[in-house]
A and B are shown apart, each in its own frame.
Chain A
Amino acid sequence: MQKDTRPALAEKSSPHPGTEGLWTFVFIDMAIFLLIFFTFMSERLRHFEVYSASQLHLNELFGLANTVILLTSSWMVVEAVQAARKQLAKKVSAYLMGAFLLGALFSINKLIEYTLKFDAGITPITNPFFSFYFFITIVHFMHVIAGMIFIFYFKNNSAACVTSDKYVTGLENVGLFWHYVDVLWIFIFPLLYLVGRK
Chain B
Amino acid sequence: MDNETKRLAQLAVAWCGPVFVIGYLIFWAILGHNIPPPNFVGMTAEQLVSEYYGKYQSQISIGMIGCCVIGLLYLPWSCLLASMLRDKDGSLGVFSFMELTGGTLTAWLLAFCPAMWAACAIYATSVDPNLIKFMHSLVWYIYDCTFMITTIQCVGLGVYTVLNKEQKLFPAWAGWCSIAVGIIFVPLVLIPFVSEGPFTVAGSWNFFIVFGTWLFMFFSPYSYFMLKALMKPTQSGQLAAAH
Binding site secondary structure of chain B? helix
B177 within 8 A of A: yes
Give the residue name and chain of the A residue nearest to B198 (CB): A43
Q: Is the CB of B193 within 8 A of A128?
A: no
Q: Which 6 A-B pairs have the closest CB atoms?
A: A128-B197, A125-B193, A28-B176, A131-B199, A32-B180, A24-B173
Q: Is the CB of B197 within 8 A of A28?
A: no
- Residue with the highest number of chain B CB atoms closer than 10 Å, among A43, A125, A131: A131
- For the complex formed, measure the closest distance between the CB of B182 and the CB atoms of chain A, giving whole angstroms: 11
- For the complex formed, measure the closest distance between the CB of B127 and the CB atoms of chain A, giving whole angstroms: 30
| Residues of B participating in the A interface, judged by any CB pair closer than 8 Å | 162, 172-173, 176-177, 180, 183-184, 187, 190, 193-194, 196-199, 204-205, 209, 213
| A interface residue count range (under 10 / 10 to 19 / 20 to 34 / 35 or more) | 20 to 34
Once bound together, how far apart are the Cα atoms of A80 and B205, in whole Å? 39
Binding site secondary structure of chain A? helix
- Residue with the highest number of chain A CB atoms closer than 10 Å, among B172, B180, B184, B197: B197
| Residues of A participating in the B interface, judged by any CB pair closer than 8 Å | 20-21, 24-25, 27-29, 32, 35, 39, 42-43, 47, 124-125, 127-128, 131-132, 135, 139
Across-interface contacts of B196 in A (CB, < 8 A): 127-128
Once bound together, how far apart are the Cα atoms of A125 and B197, in whole Å? 10
Across-interface contacts of B193 in A (CB, < 8 A): 125
Instruction: Contacts A27-B173, A39-B204, A125-B190 known; list 20 others, CB within 8 Å.
Output: A21-B172, A24-B173, A24-B176, A28-B173, A28-B176, A29-B180, A32-B180, A32-B184, A39-B198, A39-B205, A42-B204, A43-B198, A47-B197, A127-B197, A128-B196, A128-B199, A131-B187, A131-B190, A131-B199, A135-B187
